[in-house]
Amino acid sequence: MVDLAMHMMDIVQNSIRANASKIEIDFLEESRKATLTFSVKDNGSGMTPETVAKLEDPFFTSRTTRRVGLGVPFLKMSSEQTGGSLKIESELGTGTTIEAVYKTDNPDCLPLGDLGGYLVLLLIANPGIHFSFCYRIDENEFLLDTLELAEQGITEFSNNEMASAIKEYINENLKEIFEDRPKESFLC
């Protein structure tokens, strides 16, 4: 994974495979601490403590189509390279939360990547899932919630014009709050 958007897509795909109907994606930058906390929380099938303990092993996967599962181990590696950490909480039948903390003042901090593009792909491919996306830098935040969009009559994301408009909306709002990012941050 070369950027955080790819990690987001990979971890959210795990939530989708766990039959989640609600997925919360959060990016929280705290300037004073020089951290970015990336988390995905779902209401999917959850995991046993034994399964959670195996997630960091690249030779463990619950998928039957391949023998390795590199998403979580790569997320752990990329966060720890910056001096950060990875935490996984899950309860069988309730859901899972994965949280990766990155030190943004470390040059090994990954770039953000195309968050808007990947988020739109998730919306297009999974119309029945309630997505909540939040990006916050200190006090400023951008929130996109598919339930709120549905209340405004926006439910069809696969139309090319709508997909482009939603991506532009996301990117413009992210660009606006990114202006408040400290200059010392390695995020881009």
Q: How many CB atoms lie within 10 A of CB 36?
A: 26
What's this model's pTM, rounded to 2 decimal places? Answer: 0.91
What is the sign, positive or negative, of the torsion defined by CA atoms of 166, 169, 173, 178?
positive
Q: How many CB atoms lie within 10 A of CB 130?
A: 15
Residues 171/146, Cβ–Cβ less than 8 Å: no
- Per-residue confidence in pLDDT tens, the chain, 188 aa: 789 999 999 999 999 999 999 999 999 999 999 999 999 999 999 988 888 877 766 565 554 444 444 678 889 999 999 999 999 999 999 999 999 999 999 999 999 999 999 999 999 999 999 999 999 999 999 999 999 999 999 888 888 899 999 999 999 999 999 987 877 777 76
- E-assigned strand segments in 21-111: 22-30, 35-42, 85-91, 95-103
Spatial neighbors of 131 by CB under 8 A, at least 6 apart, are: 23, 24, 25, 119, 122, 123, 144, 145, 146
Quick one: pLDDT at residue 68? 41
Quick one: pLDDT at residue 13? 93
Domains of the chain: 4-178 (3.30.565.10)
Looking at residue 156, the DSSP 8-state letter turns out to be -
Looking at residue 181, the DSSP 8-state letter turns out to be S
Residues 42/95, Cβ–Cβ less than 8 Å: yes
Quick one: pLDDT at residue 57? 63
